[in-house]
Amino acid sequence: MELQELNVFFEKAVRENWEKQAFSDYQGKDYTYEQVAEKIAGLHKVFRELNIGKRDKVALLGGNSSDWAIAYLAVVTYGSIVVPILPDFSTANIHHIVNHSDAKLLFVTDSIYERIESDNMRALLGIINLNDHSVIRDNAKNLKEIFESDNELLTGPAEFSLKRFSLDDICLLSYTSGTTGFTKGVMLSRRSISSNITYAQENMPLQPGNRIVSFLPMAHVYGMLFEFLFPFTLGCHITFLTKIPSPQIVTKAFGEIRPHLILSVPLVVEKIYKKRIQPSIEKPVMKFLLRTPLISTLIKNKINKKLEKSFGEEFKELVIGGAPLSEEVDAFFRDIGFRFTIGYGMTECAPLISYASWTISRFRSAGKVVDRMQIRIDKKNESDETGEIQVKGDHVMSGYYKNVEDSKAAFTEDGWLKTGDLGYLDDDGFLYIKGRSKNMLLGPSGQNIYPEELEARICNLPYVQECVVKQVDHKLIALVYPEMDLLRQEKVDEDQLKKIMKDNRTRLNHDLPRFEHISEFIITDEEFRKTPKRNIKRYLYA
């Protein structure tokens, strides 16, 4: 199918769903597609009066909300470049991104504005309250007058008309890595976003009018594409979870809204598994019953129903991405027939690289390469099973903003994007991820050791919340942060915890080859420092 320009999607969605609900803030305000269109038209008028151009940048800084989504759509449909900033970024990172991106305007929520220093972002025309469009700082001296007239009434859906742009125009600068110092700006084109949306419309189980909950950070492309842009183009009703998405709040929202498609990261899914499922299936009687024919089938069906209820029951599929899912959880979910699948992507591909429906997905696989993309495995030696995953196609970024050196280094000489991930393809084209190439460790006889796989196993052991595996003097050790709330709740003292972790290590090593044995568990009393995407900053613990 030939790709459509982005504004074709947005214009069609608004016109065909004019009176339907578009956005809701969880336990907050609502917008119909008509109201969204009027807000967009009003902001377009503001941008024209400010002489915002096609290559100009507008930054958005705030948590998930209807107002964030409207501002995003206004910038992209106007033809300018949107710069979403994760609200978890440090003050220094926020200043860097606004200045490095050459943003002309900054939309920000009140609470976040209190911790930034506007004097460090002097190139801005002004800073605007994301929620009510009031002017917080006016460097242009006329913003208040302009923004006071940003409302625009449309007489009907036909009046909502959007200009068309080139698919190769940049529409998004995504600064989201943040693992080592300041972030790089990934330049994503309208072609890249359009191709992701097209693939999702053709392959993911969502229909016009369906409900969806947006709780992944919208400033990151995974949540932005699949909880916001793709559902909007279908005419879905999107509810934005404006609170911090703890598993308790997420499951409460799922139960009330009953979404038809769910996007998640392993952290949320694994916590639900550990708190609601694992305690019961670890009991000796339950272990026995789960090995008993017929009875085990009945029990698994009951567990599956309980798990489905945690996610609102009406979902057609749960798509997990952003990090590896625990092997134990993957195996158990498949065993009980839970409707889930695992996808793979990266910011530089906006984000999708591989996916397969839950009906055909395979154990430990991240699906098959998506349409308009190609994939290859770059092996150091022909005898190797794994190698670096490299991709090319319509999803791939245009480079890093104002960073020629890193842009060049990101690609091979023949034009393939180097993902930095290790993996392999099976004979049917299913992709399997082994870990990050820079994290791979070597065993005593040159064996490849993937710490992410070991960490996923350790995190499913009793009382373990998170961990980092590293190599010291050719031995593997695990830094372990325990589940402090559970320890306090069950009154586990320090000596008992040491005994538990010793047993955990014995249990773990029993199922591992000798070269992967963990020689020591070191208990830490503080959570590991993380990026805004909730990935542990491994380099701090090397």
At 132 the three-state DSSP class reads coil
The answer to whether the bond into 208 is cis (omega within 30° of 0) is no
Q: What is the pLDDT of residue 83?
A: 98
pLDDT in tens, 89-125: 878 889 999 999 999 999 999 889 998 988 999 899 9
Q: How far apart are CA 263 and CA 265, in angstroms?
A: 7
**Angle (CA) 491 494 498, round 5°:** 115
Q: Is the pLDDT of residue 446 over 80?
A: no
Query: At which residue do the structure tokens 């280094």 appear?
Result: 409
Residue 179: pLDDT band with limits 50, 70, 90: very low
Summary mean pLDDT of the chain: 92
Q: Which CATH architecture has domain 262-314+317-436?
A: 3-Layer(aba) Sandwich (3.40)
Q: Which residues of 214-223 are buried (b: 16+ CB within 10 A; e: fewer)?
A: bbbbbbbbbb
Give the phi and the psi of residue 194 in degrees, each rounded to 5: -60, -40
User: Is-same-fold flag (6-241; 262-314+317-436)?
Assistant: yes
- Looking at residue 506, its amino acid is T
The domain segmentation of the chain, as residue ranges, is 6-241, 262-314+317-436, 441-541
- How many angstroms separate the CA atoms of 262 and 315, rounded? 7
Q: Which CATH superfamily is domain 6-241 in?
A: ANL, N-terminal domain (3.40.50.12780)
- pTM score, two decimals? 0.85
Residues 41 and 161: beta-carbon distance below 8 Å: no
| Contact present, 108 and 62 (Cβ < 8 Å) | yes
Instruction: For the chain, give the number of residues.
Output: 542
Min mean pLDDT across 255-264, 431-440, 443-452 is at 443-452
- The pLDDT tens digits of the residues spanning 44-90 come to 999 999 999 999 999 999 999 999 999 999 999 999 999 999 887 87
Quick one: which of 13, 3, 6 has its CA closest to 208?
13
Q: How far apart are the first and last CA of the chain?
A: 47
- CA atoms within 13 A of residue 368's CA, in its CB half-sphere: 13
| In the chain, % of residues over pLDDT 70 | 97
Q: SS3 for 238? A: strand
Whether residue 448 is predicted with pLDDT greater than 80 in this model: the reply is no
Other CB atoms within 10 Å distance of the CB of residue 496: 13
- Helical H segments across 444-493, by residue range: 451-458, 484-489
> Residue written as tokens 């709330």?
485
Of 369, 373, 468, 463, the residue nearest 425 (C-alpha): 369
**Over 50: is that where the pLDDT of 367 sits?**
yes
441-541 maps to CATH 3.30.300.30: yes
pLDDT value at residue 532: 64
At 138-168, the pLDDT tens digits run: 998 889 889 887 778 899 999 999 999 999 9
The answer to whether 333 and 342 have CB atoms below 8 angstroms apart is no
CA angle 438, 439, 445 (to 5 degrees): 105
